[in-house]
């Protein structure tokens, strides 16, 4: 399973966000960060996202980490954050094949 965590913030808050990155809690051993990427165009808000990979059975533990991680960004004015669970194609196709579109069962 992966979770994609996203932050969006105004250009003028870039230094504040950079300071947050230096103080983020270490991620637990069961979470692998596949990368963090930044989108930066003049006159647009900066967007950054990180891809977290972990065993689905550790979702509760992962959520505790995400809450702590994104709480660190809450002190940056005008920053928005979210984290979303994403399925791989095989899991999504199995849901469609089974005819059960309630993704909360995964």
CATH for the 2-105 domain, from 3.40.50.970, 3.20.20.150, 3.30.70.260, 3.40.50.1010: 3.30.70.260
* Mean pLDDT to the nearest integer, 14-18: 95
Q: Which of 67, 68, 76, 80 is nearest to 20 (CA)?
A: 76
pLDDT tens, position by position, 28-71:
999 999 999 999 999 999 999 999 999 989 999 999 999 999 88
Q: What is the pLDDT of residue 95?
A: 78
pLDDT level of residue 103 (50, 70, 90 thresholds): low
Tell me the pLDDT band of 87, cut-offs 50, 70 and 90.
confident
């Amino acid at each position: 399973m992966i979770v994609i965590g996203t932050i969006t913030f105004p250009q003028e808050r870039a230094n504040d966000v950079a300071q947050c990155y230096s103080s983020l809690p270490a991620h637990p051993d069961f979470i692998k960060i596949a990368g963090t990427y930044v989108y930066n165009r003049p006159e647009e808000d900066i967007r950054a996202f990180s891809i977290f990979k972990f065993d689905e059975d550790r979702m509760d533990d992962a959520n505790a980490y995400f809450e702590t991680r994104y709480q660190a960004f809450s002190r940056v004015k005008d920053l928005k954050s979210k984290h979303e669970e994403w399925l791989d194609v095989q899991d999504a196709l199995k849901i469609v094949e089974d005819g059960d579109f309630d993704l909360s069962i995964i």
